Structure 1
């Protein structure tokens, strides 16, 4: 794959997404942020992404609902679920529904980057 990995970061915590976006961009990722499920769906319709990172708990849609829609819209795009509420059960439900993997929030940047790279590599092998 050539160029920066295109990441769609979906989380309704603006402070968290702002910091994470800056940290990832400094490391060469191209990051778009969606602060709601509806915003994420609009972003996905208007742009191509290599991987999405989706928070499980948001105000308008939960991460599992977003995952289900993403799977229908672009089945080959890997989705990494984030959960900050100790809800590993919901994260495992996400895996059962087709998520690539999950991370507990807050996560180490290195761990997230490893998951992003693994997801993109796996997508390339399946293409």
Structure 2
């Protein structure tokens, strides 16, 4: 796969060992990974227009996963967000989905499952962007008098 078109994943987790290992495992499978260890860093990286999917840990010091999700979605509604947690509860899952997460996985995460969720999230993002582009083209065509 041409790395220019490889899916770019923002990996957000305060556990440095997890971030390092997961980054290596995802990159080995052809993804490009931007790894950060705080919600603040994640929000600060929203200027990177190539990010397709964010994988965000729920429990982090500072701004937690839900607040990180909210701020990512405010800055970049087009990014699909997958939440990870070592302490899954139905309530936290509902809260994450309510704020725009596309999925919610429990740690330790199966890498094949995560890869499938990332692939699906990117397809969802691409479809939404294509739909938005098509609507913009229709709007332009309707606004022209020719």
TM-score, scaled relative to structure 2: 0.82
Aligned match of 1:29 = 31
Matching of residue 53 in structure 1 with residue 55 in structure 2:
yes
Structure 1 runs of 4+ with >6 Å offset: none
Bigger Rg over Cα: 2
Unaligned runs of 5+ in 1: none
Aligned match of 1:84 = 86
TM-score, scaled relative to structure 1: 0.94
Q: Distance in 1 between matches of 2:55 and 2:19?
A: 11
Aligned match of 1:102 = 104
**C-alpha deviation, 1:100, in angstroms:** 0.7
Give the alignment partner of residue 44 of structure 2, picking from 42, 45, 62.
Answer: 42
**C-alpha deviation, 1:87, in angstroms:** 2.7
Instruction: Give the stretch that moved more between structures: 84-93 or 117-126.
Output: 84-93
Q: Distance in 2 between matches of 1:55 and 1:92?
A: 15
Instruction: Say how many residue pairs are matched.
Output: 127
Unaligned runs of 5+ in 2: 130-146
Would the aligned equivalents of 1:79 and 1:100 in 2 still touch at CA under 8 Å?
yes
- Give the alignment's Cα RMSD to 1 decimal: 1.5
